[in-house]
Amino acid sequence: MATLQAIKYNDGQLEILDQLLLPESCTFIPIWNVEDAWAAIREMKVRGAPAIAIVGCLSLAVELRKLAAPETKEELCRLVQEKLDYLVTSRPTAVNMHLAAEACVKLCTRLTDNTSVNVAEAKDDIVKHLEAMLANDIADNRAIGEHGASDIMKKNATKDKLRMMTHCNTGSLATAGFGTALGVIRSLHTASKLDQVYCTETRPYNQGSRLTAFELVYEKIPATLVCDSMAAAAMKQFKIDAVIVGADRVAANGDTANKIGTYQLAVLAKSHDILFYVAAPFSSIDFQIPNGHSIPIEERPHSEMTHTGSIRTAAAGINCWNPGFDVTPAELITGGIITEKGVFKPDQLAPHQ
Protein backbone atom coordinates (compact mmCIF):
# COMPACT_ATOMS: atom_id res chain seq x y z
CA MET A 1 0.00 0.00 0.00
CA ALA A 2 1.27 3.51 -0.83
CA THR A 3 2.21 5.55 2.23
CA LEU A 4 0.12 8.60 3.00
CA GLN A 5 1.11 11.81 1.29
CA ALA A 6 -0.03 15.09 2.81
CA ILE A 7 1.92 17.52 0.59
CA LYS A 8 1.64 17.26 -3.20
CA TYR A 9 3.90 19.41 -5.33
CA ASN A 10 4.26 19.22 -9.06
CA ASP A 11 5.60 21.80 -11.47
CA GLY A 12 4.72 24.85 -9.38
CA GLN A 13 1.36 23.45 -8.18
CA LEU A 14 1.07 22.90 -4.42
CA GLU A 15 -1.74 21.06 -2.64
CA ILE A 16 -2.02 20.00 0.98
CA LEU A 17 -4.24 17.51 2.73
CA ASP A 18 -6.53 19.56 4.97
CA GLN A 19 -5.80 17.99 8.38
CA LEU A 20 -8.74 19.77 10.01
CA LEU A 21 -11.01 17.40 8.09
CA LEU A 22 -9.24 14.19 9.15
CA PRO A 23 -10.14 11.47 9.94
CA GLU A 24 -13.58 11.99 8.33
CA SER A 25 -12.43 13.11 4.92
CA CYS A 26 -9.24 13.28 2.84
CA THR A 27 -9.56 16.59 1.03
CA PHE A 28 -6.68 18.35 -0.72
CA ILE A 29 -6.70 22.14 -0.96
CA PRO A 30 -4.55 24.29 -3.25
CA ILE A 31 -1.94 26.72 -1.91
CA TRP A 32 -1.46 29.54 -4.40
CA ASN A 33 0.87 31.84 -2.46
CA VAL A 34 2.61 32.52 0.86
CA GLU A 35 -0.53 34.10 2.33
CA ASP A 36 -2.43 30.83 1.74
CA ALA A 37 0.44 28.87 3.32
CA TRP A 38 0.62 31.20 6.33
CA ALA A 39 -3.13 30.83 6.92
CA ALA A 40 -3.06 27.02 6.43
CA ILE A 41 -0.21 26.73 8.96
CA ARG A 42 -1.83 29.09 11.48
CA GLU A 43 -5.19 27.28 11.20
CA MET A 44 -3.42 23.87 11.55
CA LYS A 45 -4.57 22.62 8.13
CA VAL A 46 -0.95 21.58 7.97
CA ARG A 47 1.03 21.06 11.17
CA GLY A 48 4.12 19.28 12.46
CA ALA A 49 7.48 21.03 12.45
CA PRO A 50 8.97 19.71 9.17
CA ALA A 51 5.69 19.98 7.24
CA ILE A 52 5.25 23.60 8.33
CA ALA A 53 8.65 24.53 6.85
CA ILE A 54 8.15 22.53 3.66
CA VAL A 55 4.72 24.00 2.91
CA GLY A 56 5.97 27.51 3.74
CA CYS A 57 8.99 27.18 1.44
CA LEU A 58 7.08 25.49 -1.38
CA SER A 59 4.47 28.27 -1.31
CA LEU A 60 7.31 30.70 -1.97
CA ALA A 61 8.53 28.50 -4.84
CA VAL A 62 4.99 28.61 -6.29
CA GLU A 63 5.05 32.43 -6.18
CA LEU A 64 8.57 32.77 -7.54
CA ARG A 65 7.84 30.51 -10.50
CA LYS A 66 5.01 32.85 -11.55
CA LEU A 67 7.00 36.02 -10.92
CA ALA A 68 8.75 37.83 -13.77
CA ALA A 69 12.38 38.24 -12.63
CA PRO A 70 12.84 41.67 -10.98
CA GLU A 71 15.44 44.05 -12.43
CA THR A 72 18.15 43.32 -9.91
CA LYS A 73 19.23 40.45 -7.68
CA GLU A 74 19.05 42.81 -4.69
CA GLU A 75 15.38 43.46 -5.44
CA LEU A 76 14.73 39.71 -5.82
CA CYS A 77 16.44 38.90 -2.53
CA ARG A 78 14.60 41.69 -0.68
CA LEU A 79 11.31 40.22 -1.87
CA VAL A 80 12.31 36.66 -0.91
CA GLN A 81 13.42 37.80 2.53
CA GLU A 82 10.18 39.72 3.16
CA LYS A 83 8.08 36.66 2.30
CA LEU A 84 10.23 34.37 4.45
CA ASP A 85 10.04 36.79 7.39
CA TYR A 86 6.26 36.69 7.07
CA LEU A 87 6.12 32.87 6.91
CA VAL A 88 8.26 32.60 10.05
CA THR A 89 5.53 34.43 12.02
CA SER A 90 2.94 31.71 11.32
CA ARG A 91 3.73 29.59 14.42
CA PRO A 92 6.39 30.26 17.07
CA THR A 93 7.68 27.02 18.60
CA ALA A 94 8.84 24.82 15.70
CA VAL A 95 12.23 26.08 14.50
CA ASN A 96 12.28 24.42 11.07
CA MET A 97 10.71 27.34 9.18
CA HIS A 98 13.14 29.79 10.86
CA LEU A 99 16.16 27.68 9.90
CA ALA A 100 14.87 27.11 6.35
CA ALA A 101 14.42 30.89 5.99
CA GLU A 102 17.96 31.53 7.24
CA ALA A 103 19.41 29.02 4.77
CA CYS A 104 17.48 30.59 1.89
CA VAL A 105 18.62 34.10 2.84
CA LYS A 106 22.24 32.87 2.91
CA LEU A 107 21.76 31.43 -0.59
CA CYS A 108 20.36 34.83 -1.73
CA THR A 109 23.49 36.55 -0.38
CA ARG A 110 25.79 34.10 -2.20
CA LEU A 111 23.87 34.57 -5.45
CA THR A 112 23.93 38.36 -5.10
CA ASP A 113 27.70 38.30 -4.53
CA ASN A 114 28.31 35.99 -7.48
CA THR A 115 28.72 38.30 -10.50
CA SER A 116 28.53 35.43 -13.00
CA VAL A 117 24.87 34.72 -12.05
CA ASN A 118 22.16 36.94 -13.54
CA VAL A 119 18.82 37.72 -11.87
CA ALA A 120 16.81 35.08 -13.82
CA GLU A 121 19.37 32.40 -12.95
CA ALA A 122 19.34 33.50 -9.31
CA LYS A 123 15.54 33.16 -9.23
CA ASP A 124 15.78 29.64 -10.71
CA ASP A 125 18.42 28.64 -8.16
CA ILE A 126 16.26 29.84 -5.26
CA VAL A 127 13.25 27.95 -6.63
CA LYS A 128 15.33 24.75 -7.02
CA HIS A 129 16.66 25.14 -3.48
CA LEU A 130 13.13 25.49 -2.07
CA GLU A 131 11.73 22.64 -4.14
CA ALA A 132 14.53 20.27 -3.04
CA MET A 133 13.19 20.34 0.53
CA LEU A 134 10.48 17.81 -0.26
CA ALA A 135 12.81 15.03 -1.47
CA ASN A 136 15.48 15.90 1.13
CA ASP A 137 12.98 15.55 3.98
CA ILE A 138 11.83 12.11 2.81
CA ALA A 139 15.46 10.94 2.50
CA ASP A 140 16.25 12.32 5.99
CA ASN A 141 13.22 10.58 7.46
CA ARG A 142 14.15 7.24 5.94
CA ALA A 143 17.65 7.60 7.43
CA ILE A 144 16.12 8.52 10.82
CA GLY A 145 13.95 5.39 10.54
CA GLU A 146 16.95 3.15 9.87
CA HIS A 147 19.23 4.66 12.55
CA GLY A 148 16.45 4.64 15.13
CA ALA A 149 15.23 1.11 14.46
CA SER A 150 18.73 -0.34 14.55
CA ASP A 151 19.60 1.48 17.82
CA ILE A 152 16.38 0.34 19.49
CA MET A 153 16.84 -3.25 18.24
CA LYS A 154 20.47 -3.25 19.44
CA LYS A 155 19.48 -2.05 22.92
CA ASN A 156 16.74 -4.72 23.07
CA ALA A 157 18.70 -7.51 21.40
CA THR A 158 17.19 -10.24 23.54
CA LYS A 159 13.61 -9.38 22.57
CA ASP A 160 11.87 -10.77 19.53
CA LYS A 161 9.29 -7.99 19.17
CA LEU A 162 9.04 -4.55 20.73
CA ARG A 163 6.32 -2.50 22.34
CA MET A 164 6.62 1.20 21.63
CA MET A 165 4.78 4.26 22.84
CA THR A 166 4.50 7.52 20.89
CA HIS A 167 2.85 10.91 21.33
CA CYS A 168 1.28 13.47 18.99
CA ASN A 169 1.70 12.95 15.23
CA THR A 170 5.11 12.64 13.67
CA GLY A 171 4.29 10.62 10.57
CA SER A 172 3.60 11.29 6.90
CA LEU A 173 1.11 13.97 7.93
CA ALA A 174 3.76 15.96 9.83
CA THR A 175 6.55 15.66 7.25
CA ALA A 176 7.05 15.30 3.51
CA GLY A 177 6.51 11.56 4.01
CA PHE A 178 7.49 8.53 6.11
CA GLY A 179 7.81 10.53 9.33
CA THR A 180 10.34 10.92 12.14
CA ALA A 181 9.33 9.09 15.36
CA LEU A 182 6.57 7.33 13.46
CA GLY A 183 9.11 6.59 10.71
CA VAL A 184 11.22 4.69 13.27
CA ILE A 185 8.11 2.73 14.29
CA ARG A 186 7.39 2.10 10.59
CA SER A 187 10.96 0.77 10.14
CA LEU A 188 10.58 -1.54 13.17
CA HIS A 189 7.34 -2.85 11.67
CA THR A 190 8.99 -3.42 8.27
CA ALA A 191 11.75 -5.36 10.05
CA SER A 192 9.01 -7.49 11.71
CA LYS A 193 10.21 -6.24 15.09
CA LEU A 194 7.10 -4.33 16.19
CA ASP A 195 4.66 -6.07 18.47
CA GLN A 196 2.47 -3.03 19.13
CA VAL A 197 2.64 0.74 19.21
CA TYR A 198 0.63 2.55 21.86
CA CYS A 199 -0.29 6.02 20.64
CA THR A 200 -1.53 8.63 23.05
CA GLU A 201 -4.65 10.63 22.30
CA THR A 202 -2.66 13.88 22.74
CA ARG A 203 -5.17 16.16 24.42
CA PRO A 204 -6.37 18.75 23.85
CA TYR A 205 -5.93 18.87 20.06
CA ASN A 206 -5.98 15.08 19.63
CA GLN A 207 -3.22 14.75 17.04
CA GLY A 208 -2.73 11.20 18.35
CA SER A 209 -6.32 9.95 18.07
CA ARG A 210 -7.20 11.90 14.91
CA LEU A 211 -3.95 11.75 12.92
CA THR A 212 -1.51 9.12 14.24
CA ALA A 213 -4.30 6.57 14.74
CA PHE A 214 -5.47 7.37 11.20
CA GLU A 215 -1.99 6.76 9.77
CA LEU A 216 -1.51 3.54 11.75
CA VAL A 217 -4.86 2.11 10.68
CA TYR A 218 -4.25 3.23 7.07
CA GLU A 219 -0.90 1.44 7.00
CA LYS A 220 -2.06 -1.59 9.00
CA ILE A 221 0.57 -1.14 11.70
CA PRO A 222 -0.48 -2.93 14.94
CA ALA A 223 -1.53 -0.12 17.24
CA THR A 224 -3.59 0.69 20.32
CA LEU A 225 -4.90 4.10 21.27
CA VAL A 226 -4.59 5.21 24.91
CA CYS A 227 -5.72 8.43 26.61
CA ASP A 228 -2.87 10.59 27.93
CA SER A 229 -4.00 9.81 31.48
CA MET A 230 -3.40 6.09 30.84
CA ALA A 231 0.28 6.43 29.94
CA ALA A 232 1.76 5.27 33.28
CA ALA A 233 -0.67 2.37 33.55
CA ALA A 234 0.02 1.35 29.94
CA MET A 235 3.80 1.49 30.46
CA LYS A 236 3.48 -0.87 33.41
CA GLN A 237 0.75 -3.14 32.04
CA PHE A 238 2.19 -3.64 28.56
CA LYS A 239 5.89 -3.51 29.51
CA ILE A 240 6.69 -0.81 26.97
CA ASP A 241 10.26 -1.13 25.64
CA ALA A 242 10.79 2.44 24.45
CA VAL A 243 8.97 5.75 24.12
CA ILE A 244 9.69 7.75 20.98
CA VAL A 245 8.52 11.27 20.13
CA GLY A 246 9.31 14.00 17.62
CA ALA A 247 10.57 17.54 18.23
CA ASP A 248 9.56 21.06 17.37
CA ARG A 249 12.86 22.49 18.52
CA VAL A 250 15.93 20.90 20.09
CA ALA A 251 18.24 23.32 21.94
CA ALA A 252 22.05 23.03 21.73
CA ASN A 253 22.17 21.09 25.02
CA GLY A 254 19.52 18.61 23.87
CA ASP A 255 16.54 20.04 25.80
CA THR A 256 13.61 19.37 23.49
CA ALA A 257 10.32 21.19 22.91
CA ASN A 258 7.58 18.92 21.63
CA LYS A 259 3.82 18.60 21.92
CA ILE A 260 2.41 19.24 25.39
CA GLY A 261 2.47 16.00 27.35
CA THR A 262 5.88 14.90 26.09
CA TYR A 263 7.63 15.98 29.31
CA GLN A 264 5.31 13.91 31.49
CA LEU A 265 5.93 10.85 29.28
CA ALA A 266 9.69 11.31 29.74
CA VAL A 267 9.26 11.53 33.53
CA LEU A 268 7.09 8.41 33.50
CA ALA A 269 9.53 6.56 31.22
CA LYS A 270 12.35 7.32 33.64
CA SER A 271 10.44 5.99 36.62
CA HIS A 272 9.54 2.79 34.70
CA ASP A 273 13.12 2.37 33.47
CA ILE A 274 12.02 2.71 29.84
CA LEU A 275 14.27 4.25 27.16
CA PHE A 276 13.05 7.65 25.95
CA TYR A 277 14.00 8.76 22.41
CA VAL A 278 13.53 11.95 20.40
CA ALA A 279 13.56 11.52 16.60
CA ALA A 280 14.13 14.69 14.57
CA PRO A 281 16.04 15.93 11.55
CA PHE A 282 18.96 18.33 12.05
CA SER A 283 16.60 21.02 10.71
CA SER A 284 14.82 20.84 14.10
CA ILE A 285 18.00 21.60 16.08
CA ASP A 286 18.51 25.21 17.09
CA PHE A 287 22.20 25.57 17.95
CA GLN A 288 21.64 29.30 18.55
CA ILE A 289 19.89 28.68 21.85
CA PRO A 290 21.83 27.06 24.70
CA ASN A 291 18.92 25.32 26.42
CA GLY A 292 15.18 24.85 26.51
CA HIS A 293 14.48 27.95 28.63
CA SER A 294 14.73 30.16 25.53
CA ILE A 295 12.26 28.17 23.41
CA PRO A 296 9.05 30.19 22.81
CA ILE A 297 6.01 28.12 23.74
CA GLU A 298 2.83 28.73 21.77
CA GLU A 299 -0.30 29.38 23.84
CA ARG A 300 -3.36 27.92 22.14
CA PRO A 301 -7.04 28.97 22.32
CA HIS A 302 -8.94 27.89 25.43
CA SER A 303 -11.76 26.57 23.27
CA GLU A 304 -9.52 23.57 22.43
CA MET A 305 -9.92 22.54 26.09
CA THR A 306 -13.45 23.65 26.78
CA HIS A 307 -15.11 22.30 23.63
CA THR A 308 -15.21 19.14 21.57
CA GLY A 309 -16.11 20.40 18.13
CA SER A 310 -18.91 22.85 18.80
CA ILE A 311 -20.04 21.16 22.05
CA ARG A 312 -18.94 22.66 25.36
CA THR A 313 -17.48 19.99 27.64
CA ALA A 314 -15.97 22.18 30.39
CA ALA A 315 -17.90 24.33 32.85
CA ALA A 316 -18.58 27.77 31.41
CA GLY A 317 -16.49 30.47 33.13
CA ILE A 318 -13.56 28.21 34.12
CA ASN A 319 -10.09 29.65 33.55
CA CYS A 320 -7.79 27.57 31.29
CA TRP A 321 -4.08 27.19 30.56
CA ASN A 322 -3.34 25.73 27.14
CA PRO A 323 0.36 25.66 26.17
CA GLY A 324 0.83 23.81 22.87
CA PHE A 325 4.25 22.43 23.82
CA ASP A 326 6.49 21.59 26.76
CA VAL A 327 10.22 21.16 27.16
CA THR A 328 11.75 17.81 28.08
CA PRO A 329 15.09 18.26 29.83
CA ALA A 330 18.01 16.60 28.03
CA GLU A 331 18.78 14.28 30.95
CA LEU A 332 15.42 12.55 30.48
CA ILE A 333 16.22 11.69 26.84
CA THR A 334 17.85 8.45 27.89
CA GLY A 335 17.72 6.58 24.55
CA GLY A 336 19.16 9.45 22.54
CA ILE A 337 18.31 11.92 19.79
CA ILE A 338 17.82 10.07 16.51
CA THR A 339 18.76 12.16 13.46
CA GLU A 340 19.47 11.48 9.79
CA LYS A 341 23.18 11.52 10.72
CA GLY A 342 22.93 8.94 13.50
CA VAL A 343 21.83 8.64 17.12
CA PHE A 344 23.40 11.09 19.58
CA LYS A 345 23.38 11.47 23.32
CA PRO A 346 21.83 14.91 23.95
CA ASP A 347 25.20 16.33 25.10
CA GLN A 348 26.95 15.12 21.92
CA LEU A 349 25.02 17.31 19.47
CA ALA A 350 27.19 19.62 17.35
CA PRO A 351 26.34 21.70 14.24
CA HIS A 352 28.68 19.95 11.82
CA GLN A 353 28.29 16.31 12.72
Is 327:256 a contact under the CB 8 Å cutoff? yes
Number of residues that bind ligand MRU (CB under 6 A): 17
Which of 248, 255, 286, 326 is close enough to bind ligand MRU by CB under 6 A?
248
**Interatomic CA distance for residues 48 and 175, integer angstroms:** 7
- The 8-class DSSP code of residue 50 comes to H
DSSP bridge partners of 58? none
- The nearer residue to ligand MRU, 73 or 325, going by C-beta atoms, is 325
Which of 90, 207, 209, 339 is close enough to bind ligand MRU by CB under 6 A?
207
Stretch that binds ligand MRU, among 117-125, 169-177, 230-238, 329-337 (CB under 6 A): 169-177
DSSP string, 84-112: HHHHHTS-SS--HHHHHHHHHHHHHHHHH
Find the DSSP H helices in 114-252: 119-155, 181-190, 213-218, 231-238
Site for ligand MRU contains 50 (CB under 6 A)? yes
**Interatomic CA distance for residues 42 and 231, integer angstroms:** 29
Stretch that binds ligand MRU, among 4-12, 42-50, 78-86, 158-166 (CB under 6 A): 42-50
Which of 145, 208, 246, 346 is close enough to bind ligand MRU by CB under 6 A?
246
Stretch that binds ligand MRU, among 109-117, 240-248, 265-273, 336-344 (CB under 6 A): 240-248
Site for ligand MRU contains 48 (CB under 6 A)? yes
> Which is nearest to 196 in space by CA: 206, 211, 204, 185?
185
Site for ligand MRU contains 174 (CB under 6 A)? yes
- Binding to ligand MRU, residues 285-314 (CB under 6 A): none
Site for ligand MRU contains 283 (CB under 6 A)? no
**Interatomic CA distance for residues 328 and 63, integer angstroms:** 38
Shortest Cβ 51–ligand MRU spacing (Å): 7
- The 8-class DSSP code of residue 7 comes to E
Site for ligand MRU contains 339 (CB under 6 A)? no
> Which is nearest to 89 in space by CA: 104, 107, 101?
101
Is 333:151 a contact under the CB 8 Å cutoff? no
Q: Amino acid identity of 265?
A: L
**Interatomic CA distance for residues 2 and 45, integer angstroms:** 22
Which of 90, 172, 175, 328 is close enough to bind ligand MRU by CB under 6 A?
175
Stretch that binds ligand MRU, among 58-66, 156-164, 219-227, 245-253 (CB under 6 A): 245-253
Shortest Cβ 55–ligand MRU spacing (Å): 12
The DSSP H or E segment spanning 339 is: strand 336-339
Which of 56, 324, 336, 346 is close enough to bind ligand MRU by CB under 6 A?
324
Residues near ligand MRU (CB under 6 A) are 47-50, 94, 168, 170, 174-175, 180, 207, 246-248, 258-259, 324
